[in-house]
Structure 1
Amino acid sequence: MARLILTYGLISGLIIIAGIIATLPLAHSPGHSGGVLLGYLIMLIALSSILMGVRQHRDRVLGGAIGFWPAFGIGLAIAAVASVAYVVAWEGYLALTHYRFMGEYVEQTLAAKRAAGVTGAAYAKLAAELEAMKVAYADPVQRLPMTFLEIFPVGLLVALASAALLRNPKFLPSKPAG
């Protein structure tokens, strides 16, 4: 079972990493506001490997029947592996780009707010909040859990849905040999 968890977790992690890297130029383009939504859509699609992994275990190892809790446990483990892969890849990306991401994010956010006409106390408050976030993000003890928590809740929801669906042996039944 550990092999199945690692395999599907790493598949999911690699899909997420490839998707995020492919869309980074789009996220940094002026006027693009759907970056977060696109990122979570990529995560959701990639984390569908949880459903495939639990289904494979149900059909090949357990003969086509699995309870909610065992299915949820497998799904959660796959989500954890995918989340750790995401964190490791993101840290690699940050290192390759000399940790410029958060500084650029703050600059772009402040520029967009200025362009939208935000000034005075509201702008100063936002600038202070973003600067505090930038300082916190520079600390790996804070950044690593933040990055993990970007993806893991999505995996948790997919694991719950997968367990609920796959406990029914009629949902995506295995194909008879022959």
Structure 2
Amino acid sequence: MFKTILIYGSIAGLIVGSLLFGTGVTILHTVSPTIGMAIGYTGMLVAFSTIFIAIKRRRDVVQGGVIRFLPALGMGLGITLIAGIFYVVAWEAVLAVRGMDFGSGYAEAVVADMRASGASAAEIARASAEMAEFAENYANPFYRIPVTFSEIAPVGAAISLLTALLLANRNFLPAR
């Protein structure tokens, strides 16, 4: 099972990592954050389709059409972990190649959005202080890496849970 997790996790990681790196070094600042998030999360869903493929293959080919919930879930979470590592490495590469200070840029954008929306001076001052702290923390890789991993992990966990629930039922897409 470990070999399967490594293979499918690497495939998922290459998909999501190459998409993140490609968009991060080319169009990161030319699209709106909403479009950027849509591209990113769509890429995650495509990459995590490997979880379904891996668990179904294990159930149907290796285990004769039966897989229990917990092993299926563990397999999905393992694939998520490997893909998440690729995702973090890709983001760190984007930051290095672009030489950008994402934390400061994000903090400035949040405060600018508040000003544009007509927030009060007190709200803007509070947000400015919070965002300055965020930017300072984000410069530290021991803070930034878990934050980056937390972007992809919930998506992979949700797909792992759903896949394990579905494929633990031997009548769901049975082996032919």
Q: TM-score range by the shorter chain?
A: 0.7 to 0.9
**How many Å apart are 1:6 and its aligned residue?**
1.1
CA distance in 2, matches of 1:30, 1:54: 36
The answer to whether the 8 Å contact 2:103/2:136 transfers is: no
TM value normalised by structure 1: 0.86
Residue by residue over 1:16-47, the C-alpha shift from the partner in whole angstroms, topping out at 9 and shown as x without a partner, is: 12333454465534755343344223222321
Could you tell me whether the CA contact under 8 Å between 1:27 and 1:34 is conserved in 2?
no
**2:21–2:90 Cα contact (<8 Å) kept:** no
Instruction: Specify the code of the residue in structure 1 equivalent to 2:53.
Output: M
After TM superposition, list the pairs within 5 Å mapping 1:78-117 onto structure 2: 78-117=79-118
Give the drift of 1:104. 2.1
Residue 155 of structure 2: aligned partner: 154
Identity of aligned residues (%): 41
| RMSD across aligned positions (CA) | 2.1
Give the aligned partner of residue 70 of structure 2: 69
Q: Does 1:166 align with 2:167?
A: yes
SS in 2 for 1:151: helix
Aligned pairs for 1:48-59 within 5 A: 48-59=49-60
TM-score normalized by the length of structure 2: 0.87
Equivalents in 1 of 2:102, 2:72: separation in Å? 37
Q: Which runs of 5+ in 1 are unaligned?
A: none
Change (3 A) 1:26 1:95: closer
Q: CA deviation at 1:100?
A: 2.2
How far is 1:86 from its partner?
0.8
Alpha-carbon spacing, 1:160–1:20, altered in 2? closer, same or farther (3 Å): same
SS at match of 1:170: coil
8 Å CA contact retained: 2:101, 2:139:
no
State the aligned residue count: 175
Equivalent AA in structure 1 for residue 46 of structure 2: I
Alpha-carbon offset, residue 167 of structure 1: 0.9
TM-superposed CA distance for 1:65, in Å, is 0.8
* Structure 2 letter corresponding to 1:35: G
Indicate the SS of the match to 1:69.
helix
